[in-house]
Structure 1
Amino acid sequence: MSISSATQSSSGVARSLVDLAQQTRDHARLLATLPTAKKNEALEAIAQSLEVAAPEILAANATDCQTAEAEGISQALYARLKLDETKLKGAIAGVRDVARLPDPVGVVQIHRELDQGLVLKRITCPLGVLGVIFEARPDAVVQISSLAIKSGNGVILKGGKEALHSCEALVGAIRRGLAEVGIASPVVQLLTTREETLELLKLDPYVDLIIPRGSNSFVRFVQQNTHIPVLGHADGICHLYVDKAADVQKAIKIAVDAKTQYPAACNAIETLLVHQAIASEFLLEGVVALQLRNVRLLGDERTREILNIPAATEADWSTEYSDLVLAVKVVDSLEQAIAHINTYGSRHTEAIATEDPQAAAIFMAQVDAAGVYHNCSTRFADGFRYGFGAEVGISTQKMPPRGPVGLEGLVTYKYHLVGNGHIAATYSGSQAKPFTHRDLC
């Protein structure tokens, strides 16, 4: 029997998605009150349950991969779908990393006396219920569930049809882990049909945040079809700019990693910008290293004066390839590189290779992106690599949270005010009593 709680209960009785969401919200309120030690105990139980279920999970993923390959899935999507032993072990390690992180719930951000006996606190608390919709990428189930548990949130997961068996095996193991420590399994739910996705987007009273992870067209679809707040990014068009003061060998190493280490990732570079003063030296050496990794290069007119490669079109500057394809452009200045990035970039992650600290400072100040890097690969834009344990996704919006979103992006806050019969009238009018406004910590 499918573990999808959207269509079946443990007794096999059908119920609506509204009922499921209500149940998730009710149990999330209980999860929100658990002490840190209990949540960490749950995360360790989840990690152990995933380890026990590893053969089942890998077999389920093999089934998904075989089906997807037979149906002609794209190489980029297949790379996200594939869950091998190494990737699964990494996901499990991420669960334990989350357990070691400070609890984001219950943090006193403001503790202030407004007047004697009238004390204000601002205290962090969970958002409530997360709705997470993703294409392929079954390891996202583990990352998101662990972050949801640690931050005291319920979560309703909807994976792509290509990852159905993988998601069912993973969520089954996670829920068994929760049950072992006495936490009700409905805090983690799994949906399995496209119809449920559309209904999930309408559950404004029960779901507090939608997190889509997938292609740009998919994310835009979600953004355009819900009134629930959406956290995510539609495009991952990242750049590396090689400045005239770059160390050529260092820049080549960065470019190769940023393009080829995992080309299907949203933080892989899609465009390489090179200062005209260093273009010949860098491109003639760099093309060898990139082509040895099977990268297909496309170039603007000035690049093609140096390299014998196909022409890049205007559309290439705004294309997320998610593959071993890289568009190359020669620019006249740092300012021109910044202008190009701010025109075509997706505000995800941008990098400069240079030994000139002033040029790096200007780039990092003026480029509009969630991540701006100096002399390192854009592939570091990741919650695990940032020390967040895991991430629920990457946000390119201006308002926080921005960039890789970990625990801090899954909590909000409440103002607690405690008095002793205090009334507002005391502090207004000609005889108004002044506030003390004294910070207590």
Structure 2
Amino acid sequence: MTAIELAIPSLVEIGRVTRDSARLLGVLSSEAKNAALEAIAASLEAEAEAILAANAADCEAAVAEGIAKPLYNRLKLDETKLKAAIAGVRDVGRLSEPIGEIQIKRELDEGLILKRVTCPLGVLGVIFEARPDAVIQITSLAIKSGNGVILKGGKEALRSCQAIVKAIHDGLKNTDVPANAVQLLTTREETLGLLQLDQYVDLIIPRGSNSFVRFVQDNTRIPVLGHAEGICHLYVDKLADIEKAVPVTVDSKTQYPAACNAIETLLVNREIAAKFLPLVAEALREQKVELRGDEATCEFIDAVPASQEDWMTEYSDLILAIKVVDSVEEAIKHINTYGSKHTEAIVTENAEIAKKFLAEVDAAGVYHNCSTRFADGFRYGFGAEVGISTQQMPPRGPVGLEGLVTYKYQVVGAGHIVATYAGKDAKPFTHKDL
């Protein structure tokens, strides 16, 4: 059931109702929220056939309209993907309760106690292209963290999103979580309207192309959390173990090339290039990867000559740019110049070179001897994620529950007044951590 079908007359009213529902949700017990998550998982399982049928209709329509391959890959929701998303709902239910955690407990003076306690943000506005499974991930995290959520998917995923939200609302019917805490918008015009709901929405999370995220950032006063691009790199050092480097490269590129944590550029140290490049090129070509290389790369393997544009492109497809570099310093400089601060990796057996790379590369995720595809909230043990943030301020990287809570200061006294602690005869504070 969509927000439209609930007969809510305007976006302002949707914002108000979601805010009111979020306040009820925000004070529920962990047991009540976890029961709601289990009910959602069971409802999604019961409605799996209808959800997959809706997605098949979306995919068919998208193909007819000439959808780009990377976007189609994100849109496609098969049985395996749906089961994984439902498992993620239950994983979120098993996570520690994020609300009500006492981060600081301090005696300011006898009988005057300060606490810093975690609490929900309020209402999330999440705008995404394709990726209907994101609805499931985001809703489960929102409920667990006590937040309301207003969802706006791309038109290509409309039927899928409607079917999923209907299942979610059906699952919430006999729980303490108000169904109006989860809303779905369905029209393009509502996207701009959502960005203006600063009175009701506390955080906007966009998931889409670089231009889309920039558009969101330029058209709202609401704080925005997200990443614009996923231009990720893998650097194979001169002291790399080739038996590790080849499968790590192939996995980082081909395991799911449409993902934002798949590599777009491979950097190879010149001293290992003659031995490594032919081996990795063969393995990549077996996976139908098109190779684009700089002049030095083309001396070792057959590749399409790369241009400057290739270092700045997120292909989200089976295309890989390759550049030969002379040192780890050159690799780091290239990554910090062209990377999007998402996820970067090095393969090397030298601990000092790895340490230098991990320290000097500016990215939300920096990896040593493993695939960049591990950059994911589920794989990090977060249960799921609302998105990946590449901003400098936290939260950074895959954003799970910890990125959806804030805190408030609670001070309890017994008639204490500030005048007691001011002036010539001021009483000192004890400032004793409890």
TM-score by length of 2: 0.99
The answer to whether 1:429 aligns with 2:400 is: no
Instruction: After TM superposition, give the deviation of residue 372 of structure 1 in Å.
Output: 0.2
Aligned to 1:183: 177
Match of 1:320 among 314, 319, 326: 314
Alignment check: 8 A CA contact 1:8 1:15 kept: no
2 CA distance for matches of 1:27 and 1:169? 22
Instruction: After TM superposition, give the deviation of residue 8 of structure 1 in Å.
Output: 4.0
SS at match of 1:48: helix
2 CA distance for matches of 1:352 and 1:192? 42
SS at match of 1:305: helix
Match of 2:323 among 326, 329, 337: 329
Match of 2:31 among 37, 42, 55: 37
The answer to which of 424-433 and 231-240 deviates more is: 424-433
Alignment check: 8 A CA contact 2:8 2:14 kept: no
After superposition, where does 1:169-318 map in structure 2 within 5 Å? 169-318=163-312
1 CA distance for matches of 2:290 and 2:5? 48
Alignment check: 8 A CA contact 1:104 1:124 kept: yes
2 CA distance for matches of 1:436 and 1:354? 52
Aligned to 1:22: 16
SS at match of 1:294: coil
Match of 1:107 among 94, 101, 111: 101
After superposition, where does 1:124-135 map in structure 2 within 5 Å? 124-135=118-129
AA partner of residue 385 (structure 2): E
Aligned to 1:52: 46
2 CA distance for matches of 1:300 and 1:28? 53
After superposition, give the CA deviation of every residue in 1:105-153 in whole Å (9 maximum; x if it has no partner).
0000000000001000000000000000000000000000000000000
1 CA distance for matches of 2:391 and 2:176? 38
Alignment check: 8 A CA contact 1:394 1:404 kept: yes
Aligned to 2:2: 4
Instruction: After TM superposition, give the deviation of residue 349 of structure 1 in Å.
Output: 0.2
2 CA distance for matches of 1:203 and 1:259? 39
TM-score by length of 1: 0.98
Structure 1 residue ranges without an equivalent (≥5): none
1 CA distance for matches of 2:320 and 2:187? 35
Instruction: After TM superposition, give the deviation of residue 308 of structure 1 in Å.
Output: 2.0
The answer to which of 209-218 and 113-122 deviates more is: 209-218
AA partner of residue 315 (structure 1): E
AA partner of residue 356 (structure 2): I
Alignment check: 8 A CA contact 1:133 1:211 kept: yes
After superposition, give the CA deviation of every residue in 1:363-400 in whole Å (9 maximum; x if it has no partner).
00000000000000000000000000000000001111
Aligned to 2:130: 136
Instruction: After TM superposition, give the deviation of residue 301 of structure 1 in Å.
Output: 0.9
2 CA distance for matches of 1:292 and 1:79? 20
2 CA distance for matches of 1:283 and 1:118? 67
After superposition, give the CA deviation of every residue in 1:381-423 in whole Å (9 maximum; x if it has no partner).
0000000000000000111100000000000000000111111
AA partner of residue 134 (structure 1): F
Aligned to 2:151: 157
After superposition, give the CA deviation of every residue in 1:66-115 in whole Å (9 maximum; x if it has no partner).
00011110110000000000000000000000000001000000000000
AA partner of residue 289 (structure 2): V
Instruction: After TM superposition, give the deviation of residue 14 of structure 1 in Å.
Output: 5.6
1 CA distance for matches of 2:87 and 2:200? 31
1:50/1:8 Cα in 2 relative to 1: closer, same or farther (>3 Å)?
A: closer
Alignment check: 8 A CA contact 1:127 1:208 kept: yes
Match of 1:71 among 56, 62, 65: 65
Match of 1:376 among 345, 367, 370: 370
Instruction: After TM superposition, give the deviation of residue 47 of structure 1 in Å.
Output: 0.3
1:110/1:284 Cα in 2 relative to 1: closer, same or farther (>3 Å)?
A: same
AA partner of residue 66 (structure 2): G
SS at match of 1:241: strand
Identity of aligned pairs, percent?
70
The answer to whether 1:365 aligns with 2:365 is: no
2 CA distance for matches of 1:120 and 1:402? 28
AA partner of residue 286 (structure 1): V
AA partner of residue 69 (structure 1): V
Structure 2 residue ranges without an equivalent (≥5): none
Question: After the TM superposition, which parts of structure 1 deviate over 6 Å for at least 4 consecutive aligned residues?
Answer: none
The answer to which of 300-309 and 134-143 deviates more is: 300-309
Give RMSD over aligned pairs: 0.7
2 CA distance for matches of 1:435 and 1:373? 46
AA partner of residue 33 (structure 1): V
Alignment check: 8 A CA contact 1:153 1:187 kept: yes
Aligned residues: 434
AA partner of residue 61 (structure 1): N
Alignment check: 8 A CA contact 1:352 1:374 kept: yes
Alignment check: 8 A CA contact 2:2 2:166 kept: no
Match of 1:406 among 400, 403, 410: 400
After superposition, give the CA deviation of every residue in 1:204-224 in whole Å (9 maximum; x if it has no partner).
000000001111111111111
Alignment check: 8 A CA contact 2:24 2:178 kept: no
The answer to which of 317-326 and 173-182 deviates more is: 173-182
SS at match of 2:246: helix
Instruction: After TM superposition, give the deviation of residue 183 of structure 1 in Å.
Output: 2.5
After superposition, give the CA deviation of every residue in 1:301-336 in whole Å (9 maximum; x if it has no partner).
111111121111011101000000000000000000
Alignment check: 8 A CA contact 1:300 1:311 kept: yes
Match of 1:418 among 412, 426, 430: 412
Instruction: After TM superposition, give the deviation of residue 182 of structure 1 in Å.
Output: 3.7
